Chain A
Amino acid sequence: MPFWITAALLTLLACLAVLLPLARRRDGAADGADSDLAVYQDQLAELDRDLARGAIDAAEAGEARAEIGRRILKAAGKADVAGARGNGRAGRIVATLAVLAVPLASWGIYAAIGSPNLPAQPLAARLDRNPAENTVFELVARAERHLAANPEDGRGWEVLAPIYHRIGRFDDAATAWGHAIRLLGSTAAREVALGEAVASAAGGTITPEAKAALERALALEPRNLKARFLMAAALAQEGRGDEAAGAFRAILADLPEASPWRATIAKAISDLEGGPQAGSPGGGSDADAGGLISDKDQAEMIGEMVAGLDRRLRENPGDAAGWQRLVRSYVVLRKPDEAADALARGIDALGAGSEAAAGLREFAAGLGVNAKE
């Protein structure tokens, strides 16, 4: 039943509770003195019972009887308390006001404080809904439930980890990357992501644990840009400004001219040379890795990486995992149109009826992206 109908019915019932007694004819209020007499009669009866049982003796009973008798006389002598009848018109005005007050007050107040259009959202129902209608947070909760039941699903952890990072749950991101590395094996990208998550969880400080992850990444891929960058930032945080500046310069030397990173790194170098204390890289409270990359820069960085991935897939369209990564990236970047587009291209590239395409479709549905028909 829709809310408004139910609310109207409730209001109607409440009004009836006021209206019915008003509509009924009354033959006057109960007489107070009369009910007093009834009580005293009852007390006399109780006295008789006490006497019969031997709880009191005859003399006491006589005395008590006399006292109750005096009260009865007093009550009988009382004036009729119900008193004069009021005139009917004032009564009718009050009655009308009362009946009107119920709907007016309730609907007025409810309109001010209620949220009539907000549906109830029991948790079970929310999680059972079509994934396309789920929000990112609901998707995360679904994924968590799935992983709680299947903790050995490495791919699941790998999907969830960057989303955790994106929504600011850095501790969970670090845990998830840890699981992904344990189950899927160590790669430079995973280790860097782990290091970044650990550092973000520590408020931007590159902790020994984060550093260890970055070192593992560099061992696998010595030229990994992000790992080198974060290691340099770590040096700066340790107060080893000169070494940090040297490391940044080395990165700068390897970067192509057009790279958007150049400005960031140049700034870091100039900050370091300006004074190792003031505005040392990573000293800020920016919760993101190294504290060096602003949200905007980070978005650009990711944008560049995604664009690179997109290019690679055009050249090598048979990479099913790559397509999944691309769809996920667009979801993380909150570009639903591009995500749907990537999904469609991926399905085309993999062959519409193929198993790989079905896998991609399912994966995308888990992220809330559905193929355009």
Chain B
Amino acid sequence: MIVEIGHFSLVLAFALSLVQFAVPLAGTRMGEARLVAVAGPSAVAGFALTALSFAVLTAAYVQSDFSVANVWENSHSAKPLLYKVTGVWGNHEGSMLLWVLILAFFGALVAWFGTNLPASLRANVLVVQGLVGAAFLLFILATSNPFARLDPAPLEGRDLNPILQDIGLALHPPLLYLGYVGFSVCFSFAVAALIEGRIDAAWARWVRPWTLAAWVFLTGGIAMGSYWAYYELGWGGWWFWDPVENASFLPWLSGTALLHSAIVMEKRSALKIWTLLLAILTFSLSLLGTFLVRSGVLTSVHAFATDPARGLFILLILVFFIGGSLSLFALRASTLSQGGLFHPVSREGALVLNNLFLTTAAATVLTGTLYPLLVEAVTGDKISVGAPFFNLTFIPLAVPLLLAVPFGPLLAWKRGDLWAVSQRLHAALGCALLAVALVWFFVDGAGVLAALGIGLAAWLMLGALTDLAVKAGVGKERPAVVWRRLKGLSRSIFGTAAAHFGLGLSVLGIVAVTSLEVERIEVMRPGDTVEIAGYTLRFEGLVPHRGPNFTEEQGRFTYFSGGVRAGEIVSSKRLYTARQMPTTEAGIATRGFSQLYVALGDATANDGVVVRAWWKPQVLLIWIGGLVMMAGGTISLLDRRLRVGAPSRRRARPARSAEAPAE
């Protein structure tokens, strides 16, 4: 019975999403305030029903109810509880349900916190959210219903793909979807503005925090996914320019552009139309990512199932929303008023430069991702566009952008002085050049490119710190004053500095691991040792081990630093019994930010086993940088100015002016 309640509430949520779309739209057209008012409650109720449905599916997983086909296909009674729960979204149907749940959640948030938005804008935003929700709910109900039943019910499930049986599945998809779907709110705001034919000041204030929140989640999702691939797939790489990774990276690039252009729009009312277009493009790329991953166009670990009907359905959704919103944009954009003017050398100008580079980079990645698909569709040839293409095209675009990053926050609005900014950055530049020289002369195996890359990372980090130092008046004021001013800086300034610093950390990790990595491949027998980056790795032997739903051969290693035992590494080859599917579990030892990474290969005839060992210098910085970027975004999000959105009209004015002097 309870399973069917989940099914029914999903259907009910679909019906409500249609109401959420149609009724307020009619209301704003007809000027009927009561119809407009339906938007909020229907969005909240739709969210409650979707959440109930999701909870029911989760319960079915936890209780191993194999009368639900989805549970039977993706679960097993012997699976640990955590993976029973994460298995809910470790498959096509469940992940689409999670997608819609997050969409409904964001719709409900707009309904809850949007009370100080102009009523018609709020209603139109919810109209668009309702339409997106209706399209995806229809997709779920028609082609990917997670509540399809089996009668009679089998007694044992087929288990979840072992690669997905990892803590990574608990974090990566939800974060990624929070990011993807978060941009749907920006999209809805953009389309609502086009429907209304105007962009008001409240618009920019609202879009900025949503963009920030979605960006923070997407950054986390991508970083988590990258780390997961790094330790789970056992290839030792952290980014493969795999089409599915690109699918998440594309909205990140355009979302980063949107984040920056939204600043210009909020502060200066400029770049309105561009920001609108970026909001549409970013969500379009999110949808494209969903299409690429879910349709089975790309065969990879992410494509849980391949079904032409699903692919066609998502393609139709994609064409409808991207085509529809862009047509609306073409029709209406000219009626929107352009905002403030600015000099090319100014904060605005710098942000435009940032946008140019980011969107060009996004276009490059998009080309590289879609080109093989197009070639295959037209000529039937299978080609692959791999890392060389992306390295050749993406990096030349990224480097100038990264070089320019420290200038941006230091330039003044409207009219900036590039020379003055350069002088302020003297110290950072000097230190960065010193870093280049030190790396070049003192680090073994570091070439010119490695030294320059590390210099670039230092430049980014020092530039971020310089921004704070300059704004606090370091060198101009007494320390006490500096401290007071530093405390008084708005959170968004700290957020900017942290995000740019995090970017530098990631660059440092990427450069270090790419240019200074050491790899050894050896056939090892118990007792054999291998030297790698100053460590001695000794193979102790293979030990059989039994897990809850797998058996494994654990390769045990001890590693020594300077003859002293430094620790143990266990790397294993697992066999998941339900699917008879083997996986490799890499053994990783962390030393500072660097890692010793050991993966087992095939056994050889004479009792030996192929061992691949890597020394990954500073590899953790790649993801720590991502976390720092997330922290920067979060700090910026907590800025009072942004948190309030548009100021509430109910609040008394004197209260607010009383707050001001306190800072």
Contact = CB atoms under 8 A, between A and B. Distances in A.
A75 B145 CA distance: 49
Contact of A13 (B18, B34, B45, B116): B45
A227 B235 CA distance: 52
B4 A115 contact: yes
A51 to B, nearest CB: 10
Given A20-B41, A82-B31, A109-B14, A35 B202 contact: yes
Interface of B: 1-5, 7-9, 11-12, 14-16, 18-19, 22-23, 26-27, 30-38, 40-42, 44-45, 49, 52, 60, 63-67, 77, 116-121, 141, 145, 147, 149, 151-156, 196, 198, 200-202, 205, 269, 340, 412-414, 471, 473, 485, 488-489, 641, 644, 646-647, 649, 653, 656-657, 660-661, 663
Interface of A: 2-3, 6-7, 10-11, 13-14, 17-18, 20-22, 24-36, 38-43, 45-46, 48-49, 52-55, 60, 63-64, 67, 71, 75, 81-88, 90-91, 94-95, 98, 101-103, 105-106, 109-110, 113-116, 118-126, 135, 137-138, 140-141
B663 A39 contact: no
A141 B154 CA distance: 10
Given A17-B45, A45-B656, A122-B65, A110 B201 contact: no
23 contacts: A3-B1, A6-B5, A10-B9, A14-B12, A21-B41, A24-B37, A27-B33, A35-B649, A36-B202, A52-B663, A55-B489, A81-B118, A98-B23, A98-B38, A105-B18, A106-B14, A113-B145, A120-B67, A121-B65, A121-B66, A123-B77, A123-B155, A137-B155
Interface of B is mostly: helix
A35 B63 CA distance: 51
A35 B646 contact: yes
A21 to B, nearest CB: 4
B478 to A, nearest CB: 13
Given A45-B657, A94-B26, A120 B9 contact: no
Given A41-B647, A120-B1, 10 more contacts: A2-B1, A10-B5, A10-B49, A21-B41, A38-B116, A45-B657, A53-B489, A82-B31, A109-B141, A140-B155
Contacts of A45: 656-657, 660
Contact of B32 (A30, A60, A94, A125): A94
Contacts of B31: 29, 82-86
Contacts of A63: 414
A115 B649 contact: no
A25 to B, nearest CB: 8
Contact of A106 (B11, B149, B201): B11
B205 A39 contact: yes
Nearest to A86: B30
A76 to B, nearest CB: 12
Contacts of A43: 201
A123 B64 contact: yes
A277 to B, nearest CB: 35
Given A35-B649, A94-B35, A120 B19 contact: no
A140 B67 CA distance: 17
Contacts of B141: 109, 113
A102 B15 contact: yes
B116 A138 contact: no
A284 to B, nearest CB: 27
Contact of A32 (B44, B118, B205): B118
A103 to B, nearest CB: 8
Given A98-B22, A120-B2, A17 B119 contact: no
A40 B647 CA distance: 10
Q: Which 3 A-B pairs have the closest CB atoms?
A: A86-B30, A122-B63, A17-B45
B650 to A, nearest CB: 11
B584 to A, nearest CB: 26
A81 B489 CA distance: 38
Nearest to A42: B647
Contacts of A98: 19, 22-23, 35, 38
B4 A29 contact: no
A105 B15 contact: yes
A39 B201 CA distance: 6
Contacts of B412: 60
A24 B30 CA distance: 18
B200 A114 contact: no
A138 B155 contact: yes
A5 B9 CA distance: 13
A14 B49 contact: yes
Given A14-B12, A39-B202, A123 B154 contact: no
Contact of A18 (B5, B7, B23, B649): B23
A141 B155 contact: yes
Contact of B649 (A34, A71, A85): A34
Nearest to B341: A67
Contacts of B12: 10-11, 14, 102, 106
Contact of A116 (B4, B16, B33): B4
Contacts of B5: 3, 6-7, 10
Contact of A90 (B2, B30, B40, B489): B30
Given A35-B118, A48-B660, A26 B37 contact: yes
Nearest to B154: A137
A119 B1 contact: yes
Contact of A29 (B49, B119, B641): B119
Interface centre among A35, A41, A85, A140 (most CB of B within 10 A): A35
Nearest to B157: A123
Contacts of A121: 65-67, 153
Nearest to B115: A30
Interface centre among B4, B7, B45, B63 (most CB of A within 10 A): B4
Contacts of A85: 31-32
A54 B656 contact: no
A84 to B, nearest CB: 6
B37 A21 contact: yes
Interface centre among A85, A95, A121, A141 (most CB of B within 10 A): A121
B49 A135 contact: no
A267 B11 CA distance: 60
A49 B2 CA distance: 56
A140 B646 CA distance: 64
Contacts of A3: 1, 4-5, 8
A126 to B, nearest CB: 8
A18 B155 contact: no
Contacts of B4: 3, 7, 114-116, 118, 120
